[in-house]
A and B are shown apart, each in its own frame.
Chain A
Amino acid sequence: QQQVKQSPQSLIVQKGGISIINCAYENTAFDYFPWYQQFPGKGPALLIAIRPDVSEKKEGRFTISFNKSAKQFSLHIMDSQPGDSATYFCAAKAGDNDMRFGAGTRLTVKP
């Protein structure tokens, strides 16, 4: 059973558009919510992360929105570029080891 539910499974966006990926969780013990970006043939790499005491975090074109009461968080990629084409994983962590990953979203940005 997936503890972190991620949608959509795949996403196609035009260059310059906004990409939005959503995640939902049930475990209220989760206290750290990272997003990882994975290019083909590579391992996931940390993109941006948020703690539940803030509702939004922005780093360049990437923004995490966090809704603690709804137990949902999302990644927004503004001005999406073909170089952003990758698989994105949301994750949630509780304690020292309990990191749970979403199923992943394959993003394609068309030129």
Chain B
Amino acid sequence: EAQVTQNPRYLITVTGKKLTVTCSQNMNHEYMSWYRQDPGLGLRQIYYSMNVEVTDKGDVPEGYKVSRKEKRNFPLILESPSPNQTSLYFCASRTYRSDNQPQHFGDGTRLSIL
């Protein structure tokens, strides 16, 4: 089954404790992206990657890091989480093999930073 898998699905942690949210896709997609979803703001892009070893900032990259060492994986790293990073996070992927292919989203990771 084609899917984007995020882990963990839920996490409660404390300010300053480094955490990583993993994202893996099994569709051989070139493009992967991280979004955060906040009430009244919709989905805002944090980072994206066009392919292996190619990453770039989205609209709200502050406080986040990413890496793309393999095509299937795109982890999101919070080196020193703060309460304003409490949010619902989504990873997404799509192919470039033809125009305007839809993004496939994971089921989300709800982070609470205390």
B4 beta carbon closer than 8 Å to chain A: yes
B34 beta carbon closer than 8 Å to chain A: no
> Is A101 in contact with B108, judged by CB distance below 8 angstroms?
no
Minimum distance in angstroms from B49 CB to a CB of chain A:
10
A32 beta carbon closer than 8 Å to chain B: yes
In residues 1-19 of chain A, which contact B (Cβ within 8 Å)? 2, 4, 6, 9
> Is A43 in contact with B106, judged by CB distance below 8 angstroms?
yes
Residue-wise, chain A 72-95 has the 8 Å CB interface mask toward B (1 for contact) of 000000000000000001000100
> Is B50 in contact with A96, judged by CB distance below 8 angstroms?
yes
In residues 4-25 of chain B, which contact A (Cβ within 8 Å)? 4
A46 beta carbon closer than 8 Å to chain B: yes
> Is A89 in contact with B103, judged by CB distance below 8 angstroms?
no
Minimum distance in angstroms from B99 CB to a CB of chain A:
8
> Is A103 in contact with B102, judged by CB distance below 8 angstroms?
no
> Is A89 in contact with B96, judged by CB distance below 8 angstroms?
no
> Is A32 in contact with B100, judged by CB distance below 8 angstroms?
yes
B74 beta carbon closer than 8 Å to chain A: no
Q: A6-B42, A103-B41 are in contact. Are A42 and B107 (CB under 8 A)?
A: yes
> Is A44 in contact with B105, judged by CB distance below 8 angstroms?
yes
Residue-wise, chain B 82-114 has the 8 Å CB interface mask toward A (1 for contact) of 000000001010001000101101111000000
In residues 45-80 of chain B, which contact A (Cβ within 8 Å)? 45, 48, 50, 56
Could you write out 5 A-B pairs with CB less than 8 Å apart?
A: A43-B4, A43-B106, A45-B105, A96-B96, A101-B43
Chain A residues close to B by CB (< 8 Å): 2, 4, 6, 9, 32, 34, 41-46, 49, 51, 89, 93, 96-97, 99, 101-104
Task: Identify the 3 closest CB pairs spanning chains A and B, nearest first.
Answer: A43-B105, A46-B102, A101-B42
